Amino acid sequence: MKVSLFIPCLTEHFFPSSGISMVKIFRHLGIDAEYIEDQTCCGQPAFNSGYRHEAVPLAEKFIRLFREKEYIIAPSGSCVSFVKNNYKELNISDELKPALKNISDRIFEFTEFLVDVMKIENLGGEFNHTVTYHDSCHLLRELNIHDQPRKLIRAIKNINFIEMNSADTCCGFGGTFSYKFENVSVAMTEQKCKNIEASGAEYCVGADSSCLMNIEGFLRKHKMNAKTIHIADLLAESLKL
Amino acid sequence: MKSPAPSKTKKLIKEALGNGALRSAVFKATESSALSRQKIIDQIPYWEDLRDKAHLIKKDVIENLSKYLTQFERNCELNGIAVHWASDSAEAQKIILDIAKQNNVTKVVKSKSLTTEEIHLNDFLKANDIESLETDLGEYIVQLNDQIPSHLIIPAMHLSRKDIGELFAKKLGVEYTEDPAQLLLTARKILREKFLAAEMGITGVNFAFAANGSFCVVENEANAHNTLSLPPIHIAVMGLEKIIPDVSMLPYFLKLLPANATGQKSSTYVNFIGGPTGSAYGEGPEQIHIILLDNGRTKILKDPVLRESLYCIRCGACLNACPVYQQIGGHAYGWVYMGPIGSVLIPQFLGEKEGRLSPFLSSLCGACTTVCPTKINLPHHLLTLRSRIVDSGNSKFIERNAIKIWSKLGSNAKVYRLMSRIASFFQSKLFFNSPLRVPGYNKERQFPLIHSEGFRARFLKMNGDKKNG
Amino acid sequence: MDSRNSILKRIQEAGCYSADTSEHSSTIDLKISESIKSITPESKKDLWDQFKKEIELVAGAFYKTENINASAEIIIKFLTDSKISRVGISNEEICLKTALKIKEIESGLKIISPSQFDHAERKKEYAVTEAAVVNPSFAVADTGTLVFTLKGAGTSYPHFLCDNIFALIDESRIVPNQFELFRRLRREEMKEMFFVTGPSRTADIEKVLVLGAHGPRNLTVLMSENIAQ
Ligand code: SF4
C-alpha cells in the first residue's frame, strides 16, 4: 500500500517532527509513504479570510499534484477538511473539476486513516504519562473524528488517559481570527489551557498542528506545566521509533 | 449602546473583556444553559429528525414566502386581524404610532420581541410621549439600565444579581437586595399595575400560521399573555420569515424551541391568537393588528444560499454554544442580534461596510451549527460573507496585498521554501533563535520556532539514509 | 406602490423556487412517529403517571381524586391554610359545581365567576383574587402540559391573574403528546387557546429559577375518573 503525504504549512515549517513521526509509523506498518516535493499551501488561510480568488491557484496546484493519488494523508484535520469540503466552493478551472471528487474521497486525516481505513486501533507501544485529548473543531465537526484518536491513545500501554472538561470546545485559534481578534482568541485559549491543567494531564494530545501551536504557545508563555503533543509524535514515541 | 455599532466591535470587545463580572456571569449562564439543553435532548431520541423536519419546513416557507404571506394575510383578515406591511423600521414605527394616536394611547406594555428591538420601538415611542414598558423581567432590567438585551433569550445575562440589586435600588428607590425572588417581586408589583392600566400591548410573534390566520407567542413568565389579553389593543410585530404553513406543524417547533432556548421540555405558556374578543365574555383586545416587517429580509432572500439565515427561530442556542460569545457576551457584537447568528445577520442587514468585522469575529469552530434547530450552516455563511466583504473592498489594504502575494508565491514550491528560509534566517539573526515576535499574536502566546530544517529537508534526508543504508 | 406590493415584488424578484420538500418530509415524519411510538406509554394509567412526573418536574402538583368532593376538600385545605377567601372560576360547568361544593363547606368563601362582571370590572376582580378553579380540555403526558381552549374557558383571567390555580380534569382527557393533541383539537379551537406547563417562572437573574413571575405561583392538577359525577 502506498500513501501520499500532504504536509500542511505549519507542519512543514514549525512542526516537521510530527510529519516525520507519521512517516515512521507508516514505515513501521509497512506502508509506503511518498512525498510530493512540489506541494505548498492548500489555500485555507486565504479562503477563510475571504480571499477566494487568491485561494484558487493554490487549490489548483494541489489538485494537479494529488489528483491521481490513491490515499492522501495529512497530520492535520483542518487542512483535510478544507480540501475535502471547501474546494468545491472555489471557482477552479473546469478541467480540474472532475478530479475534485476523487480527491475528496481519498483524502484522510492521519488517525482517521489508521482506524477507519487501515482498521488499526492498537499500535502497541508504551507511554508512562497522563494525557488528555483536545478535539480540534474541524476534525470533530467537519470530519466526524472523535473516537479514532481516542482509540489509538487508549490502546497504548501504561498510558493514563483522562477526558478534560469541554474537550470539544474550540481552543481559540481559528486561523486569522487569532490575530484579527487577538484578545478574544487568547481568552478562549486561556479557558482551554485551564481545562487542560484542571484535568491533571501532563500532555494534551491533538491531531491538528494549528491548535497545538496555539495551546503550546499559551502554556509556555504562562509557564504552565502541561505540554502538547501531536498524536503522531505520541504514537512514534510510544513505539520508540 | 442604542444605535447599531458592529463596526465598533473591537472597542466593545475590549470593554467586555475588561469586565470580569460580566465575563463570569456570561460564562456561567451559557454553560448552564448548554447543560440543561443537553439534558432535555437526551430524552428525545428523535431530536435529529426534528431538526431535519424543521429545516425542511423553513425551507419550504422561505422558498415560497409570498404564497404563505398572502395566505396568512387573507386568513387573518377573515379572523378580524388587521394586517399591515412595513418595508423598514420607519414604516413600522409609523404604523404603530398611527394606531396609538387614533386610539389616544399613552401607555403601552410590551413583551419580549427582538423584532421590536430591531426597529428601536421603545425609544421611538418615548420620543412621541408614549410610555412603552418592557414586562419580561430580563427586558425590564435592561430597559431600566438603558441598554439593549445582550442575549436572545436571557436579555440581562450580562448583569449579576448585585448589578440588578443596585439598579433597582437606584432607579426604583427600593431597598437594596440581591435576592432574585425579592427583585422579581418588586418588578411584578410595579408591572401588575401597568398591565391593568395599559391601553395597548405590543408583542412579537414566535410562529404565525398561514392556513388559519393565527399566530402564537411562547413564554415563561405570563407577561406576554397579560400583554396580549389585558389591554384593549394588541399589536404583534413579526419578521416576514416567522410564518409556517400550518398550526399543525407547530409540535415540531415546540419541542425544538424550549429545549434549545431554556432547557425546558415545554415552555410554560404558549398563547394562540386568532382574532379579537375571542372568548365567550368579550374578553381579549378589541383590536388586533399584525405588522409584517421586511426591514432587509427581502434583501437576504436574494442570495439562494444565504437565505438560509432566515430559517432562524431565535432560540439562542448558538450563542450558548459559541466560545466567542461565552467570552465577550452580546453587547460586544454591537447590534440587536448577536453571537453566530448575529455575525451572519449583521452584514446582511446593515451592509458590508458597517458589518465588515462581524463575520470575522468567529473561530469557525462550528459548534453553533450542531445545535441549531433548523440546521442553519452558520460557519458556511460566515465564510461566504467574509468573501463578500473582501469582494466589496471592505477588507484592509495591507491584508489584501499580503494574501495576494502569499497566493502568488505559494503557487511556486521553490519560492515558497525560500520564504521559509528567509524567515528562519531572520529568526536566527534578529531574534537569536528565540521565537519570532508576531504583532497581533504573541502578547499572550509564544510563537513557535521556525525550523531551519523543515519537513521536506528531513524527509529527503531520512529517505537518503534509507537508500544509502 | 404601497408597502405590501413592494414587499411582495421584492420577494418575487429574489428568485426563489418552489421547492417540493414533501417527499423527504414524509420520510422524516415516519421516522419521528416510529420513534415516538417506541417511547410512548400505552395505557391511560401510564400516561397519567408520565404526566404526573413531568408536571412535578416543572413545580406543579398532581393529585388523583375520587370525585368532586374529594377535589373540593383538597382545595379547601389549601384555602384555609393560606387564608384565602376568594376563588375565581372559569366558564366551565365543573368549575362552578366545585366552587359551590366548596362554598357548602366554607360558607365565607366568595366566588368570582366570569359572567358576573363586565369586561373592565372582571379584570379588576380577578386581579385581586388569589385562587382559581379551572378546567383544561386536555392534558399532554410527555410534557406535563395543560391545554385550555378559550371558547371553553370563556376567559383567561383566572388562569393568569390568580396566584394559585386548581385545574380539574377528567381521566379521559389525556393525550400522549402534542402531535396527538393537534389531531384531537378542532380547527376552530386551535385559533384561540393556551398551553400551560407549570406555574409561571423566570430565570432572568443569574439563571436562578423563581416561580410566580407575572402569573400564578402554584399549579395543582386534580384528576378524577369521572369528573362529572
Ligand atoms: S441560528 Fe439557529 S441556533 Fe442560532 S438562534 Fe437561530 S435558530 Fe437558534
- In this complex, the residue of B328, B445, B456 whose CB is nearest that of residue A217 is B445
Q: What is the mean pLDDT of residues B208-222?
A: 97
Of B232-246, B369-383, C37-51, C139-153, which range is least confident?
C139-153
Per the prediction, chain B carries an average pLDDT of 93
pLDDT score, position B466: 63
Each residue of C95-135: pLDDT tens digit?
999 999 999 988 888 999 988 888 888 889 999 999 999 99
CA distance C57 to A156: 45
* pLDDT more than 90, % of chain C: 77
Minimal-distance CA residue of chain A relative to B404: A54
CB C133 within 8 A of CB C126: no
Mutation site for A-interface testing, chosen from B31, B356, B363 by largest number of A Cβ within 10 Å: B363
Contact C222, C167 (CB under 8 A): yes
Q: How far is A171 from chain B (nearest CA, A)?
A: 9
Cα angle B248, B252, B257; round to 5: 125
Size of interface B-C (CB pairs under 8 A): 259
Q: Which pLDDT score is estimated for C117?
A: 87
CATH architecture of the domain A2-117 equals 3-Layer(aba) Sandwich (3.40)
In this prediction, residues B50-57 reach a mean pLDDT of 96
- C and A make contact (3+ CB pairs below 8 Å): no
A131 to chain B, closest Cα gap in Å: 22
For B77-86, how does the pLDDT look when each residue is reduced to its tens digit (9 = 90+)?
A: 999 999 999 9
Q: Of A194, A189, A191, A237, whose CA–CA distance to A217 is shortest? A: A189
Q: C131: closest CA among C69, C90, C88?
A: C88
Q: C144 contacts in B (CB within 8 Å)?
A: 265-266
Per-residue pLDDT for chain A (241 aa), expressed as one digit of tens each?
A: 899 999 999 999 899 999 999 999 999 999 999 999 999 999 999 999 999 999 999 999 999 999 999 999 999 999 999 999 999 999 999 999 999 999 999 999 999 999 999 999 999 999 999 999 999 999 999 999 999 999 999 999 999 999 999 999 999 999 999 999 999 999 999 999 999 999 999 999 999 999 999 999 999 999 999 999 999 999 999 999 9
Give the pLDDT confidence score for residue B295 in this predicted structure. 97
Q: How many CB atoms lie within 10 A of CB B97?
A: 17
- How far apart CA C126 and CA C138 sit, in angstroms, is 24
User: Does C18 have pLDDT greater than 70?
Assistant: no
Q: What's the B340 CA to ligand 1 centre distance in angstroms?
A: 8
Distance CA A139, CA A146 (A): 8
User: For a substitution probing ligand 1, which of B207, B314, B338 has the most ligand atoms within 8 Å of its CB?
Assistant: B314
Residues forming a β-bridge with B270: B218, C195
Q: Which chains touch B (3 or more CB pairs under 8 A)?
A: A, C
Residues B386, A183: C-beta atoms closer than 8 Å: no
pLDDT score recorded for residue C1: 67
Is B436 an interface residue toward A (CB < 8 Å)?
A: no
| B9 CA distance to ligand 1 middle (Å) | 21
Phi/psi zone of residue A127: left (φ > 0), alpha (ψ -120 to 50 degrees), beta?
Answer: beta
Torsion of CA B149, B152, B155, B157, to 10 degrees: -110
Ordered alpha helix ranges (H), B200-351? 223-229, 250-262, 297-301, 317-321, 323-328, 339-350
Is it true that domain C41-224 has CATH number 3.40.50.10420? Answer: yes
| Euclidean distance between CA atoms B277 and B287, whole angstroms | 8
In this predicted model, what pLDDT tens digit does every residue of C182-200 receive, in sequence order?
Answer: 999 999 999 999 999 999 9
Whether ipTM exceeds 0.90: yes
The CATH class, in words, for A130-238 is alpha beta
- Lowest model confidence (mean pLDDT) among B321-330, B416-425, C201-210: B416-425
Helix (H) or strand (E) holding C74: helix C68-81
Q: Which residue of B has its CA nearest to A214?
A: B445
CATH 3.40.50.10420, chain B: domain bounds: 45-298
Contacts of A35 (CB under 8 A, 6+ apart): A4, A5, A7, A23, B456, B459
The C-alpha cell 377567601 sits at C85
Whether B1 has a pLDDT exceeding 50, the answer reads no
Provide the pLDDT for residue B426.
74
Q: Of B327, B362, B366, which has the smallest distance from its Cβ to A177's Cβ? A: B362
- The DSSP H or E segment spanning C88 is strand C86-89
Q: Please state the domain extents for chain A.
A: 2-117, 130-238
- Residue C106's pLDDT is what? 85
**B89 Rama class: left (phi>0) / alpha (psi -120 to 50) / beta:** alpha
Chain B residues with CB under 8 Å of A214 CB are 445
Residues C51-99 pLDDT 10s: 999 999 999 999 999 988 899 999 999 999 999 999 999 988 999 999 9
CB-nearest partner of B183 from C13, C203, C205: C205
B27 touches chain C (CB under 8 A): no
Q: Same topology for domains A2-117 and A130-238, yes or no?
A: yes
Coil, strand, or helix at residue C211?
strand
pTM: 0.95
What is the Å distance from ligand 1's center to B55 Cα?
A: 11
- Cell 467537519 appears where? A142
Cβ < 6 Å from ligand 1: which residues?
Answer: B 152, 312-318, 341, 371-374, 376
Q: Is C7 on the interface with B (CB under 8 A)?
A: yes
C40 touches chain B (CB under 8 A): no
Give the CATH number of domain B45-298; options: 3.20.20.150, 3.90.1150.10, 3.90.950.10, 3.40.50.10420.
3.40.50.10420
Task: Tell me: pLDDT of B468 over 70.
Answer: no
Whole-number pLDDT of residue A112: 98
Cβ of residue B375 closer than 8 Å to a chain A Cβ: no
The dihedral region occupied by B284, where left means phi > 0, alpha psi between -120 and 50, and beta the remainder, is left
The answer to whether the CB atoms of A51 and B363 lie below 8 A apart is no
- Distance between CA atoms of residues A124 and B97, nearest Å: 75
Q: At B281, is the pLDDT very low, low, confident or very high (cuts 50, 70, 90)?
A: low
Instruction: Report which of residues B329 and C229 the model is more confident about.
Output: B329
CA distance C163 to chain B (A): 12
Our CA-based measurement puts residue C211 at a distance from the nearest CA of chain B, in whole angstroms, of 8
Q: Which one of B88-97, B277-286, C147-156 scores highest in mean pLDDT?
A: B88-97
